[in-house]
Amino acid sequence: MRDLKTLETFYWVAVLGGFRAAAAKLNTTQPAVSARIAQLEEELGVELFDSGRRRTVLTTRGTVLLSYVERLFQVKAEMLQAVADPAALRGSFRLGVSETLVHTWLSDLIEQVALVFPQIVLDISVDATRELKRHLRALDIDLALMAEPLEHPDARSRKLCAYPYRFIASAELAEATRGMDDRSLLSSHPIITYPKTTVSAGDLITTLQYRLGLTAPRLWGMSSIQTIVGMVRSGRGIGALSPVSVEAELASGALRILDTEVRLPDMEFHSAYLVGVDTYVKAAICDLAHESAARHAEAHGHPAESD
């Protein structure tokens, strides 16, 4: 039987649906991938992919082999968890993160990964949840820490943490609008928040429509928290974001949380990864992320999530 490298090549061709995609994933050439698959088919005496199709599709025997390969790599993951020294593992790990977590406990997670897996190199991308889910399904990232769980048959997804979502303004604007009712306050100034495609902005729009009857609230969606904070500090509008992202500004008095009767849903974050070849490392770093989130929650008085 061929070695694990060949079976891994077969796995990625099957999962990614093509020889070129598998070659890119394995950092090799398409001819090298084709040669490995040809050798595996010759050794087994069967065709694993339907050569008559325009796209790469598994044959019946190929589908059976894939189920065994997935079980084999699951056993490998269990073996690594039971036996391997994490400090000896090498490679690159691609982590996708929502920006709010960058401003809270991502640095702690990076430190923990460096301690447990000193030879693992983190490749971190910060993006919107919609993009993180797309990259996760395409196996372009290994683990996502984002604002929604991932619905996928091979996904392992669980709630990571939750943070308050509040209306925040500059000290000057907060003072100038003191005593205004919520409808007047939130309709007379632009609300500067996350892009409209995000979960939080959707919750905000729904809340304003339901609680205040604002059918077309003036929302300025910004993809960068730093940009949101800068515009709110300059008095351009009222911010809608999590206080955990602006703790220094709140402590200094430059920004204030507005006392409104409108209560926005908390911002939830979830961890998600797809089981597969590297499940052991994915699960281990996912656990480290939950530990970092719990430490931050304890230090800042936020409720910690339990499994």
User: Given pLDDT bands bounded at 50, 70 and 90, which one contains residue 171?
Assistant: very high
User: Given pLDDT bands bounded at 50, 70 and 90, which one contains residue 79?
Assistant: confident
Q: What is the mean pLDDT of residues 222-242?
A: 94
Q: What is the mean pLDDT of residues 245-263?
A: 93
Does this model's pTM top 0.85? My answer is no
User: Considering only CA atoms, which of 169, 148, 260, 246 is closest in space to residue 207?
Assistant: 260
Q: What percent of the chain has pLDDT over 70?
A: 96
Q: What is the mean pLDDT of residues 259-283?
A: 91
Residue with tokens 């926005």: 264
DSSP 10-66: HHHHHHHTSHHHHHHHTTS-HHHHHHHHHHHHHHHTS-SB-TTSSS--B-HHHHHHH
Helix (H, G, I), strand (E, B) or coil at 155: strand
SS3 of 84-108: the string is: CCHHHCCEEEEEEECHHHHCCCHHH
Can you give the pLDDT at residue 15? Answer: 84
In the DSSP assignment, the letter for residue 124 is E
Kind of pairing, strands 238-241 and 191-193?
parallel
| Statement: residue 52 has pLDDT above 70 | no
Can you give the pLDDT at residue 305? Answer: 57
Residue type, 178: R
| Statement: residue 299 has pLDDT above 90 | no
Can you give the pLDDT at residue 51? Answer: 72
Distance CA 259, CA 169 (A): 11
Residues 6+ apart with CB under 8 A from 199: 129, 147, 148, 267, 268
Q: Which domains does the chain have, with CATH numbers?
A: 4-83 (1.10.10.10), 86-161+268-300 (3.40.190.10), 166-257 (3.40.190.10)
Sign, Cα dihedral of 179, 183, 189, 195 = positive
Cross-sheet strand order for the sheet of 143-146: 120-126, 91-97, 143-146, 267-274, 155-163
Strands (E) located in 153-305: 155-163, 166-170, 191-193, 219-221, 238-241, 255-257, 267-274
Kind of pairing, strands 143-146 and 155-163?
unpaired
Q: What is the mean pLDDT of residues 293-302?
A: 86
Computed over every residue of the chain, the mean pLDDT equals 90
DSSP 219-243: EEE-S-HHHHHHHHHTTSSEEEE-G
Beta-carbon neighbour count of residue 104 at 10 Å?
22
User: Given pLDDT bands bounded at 50, 70 and 90, which one contains residue 22?
Assistant: confident
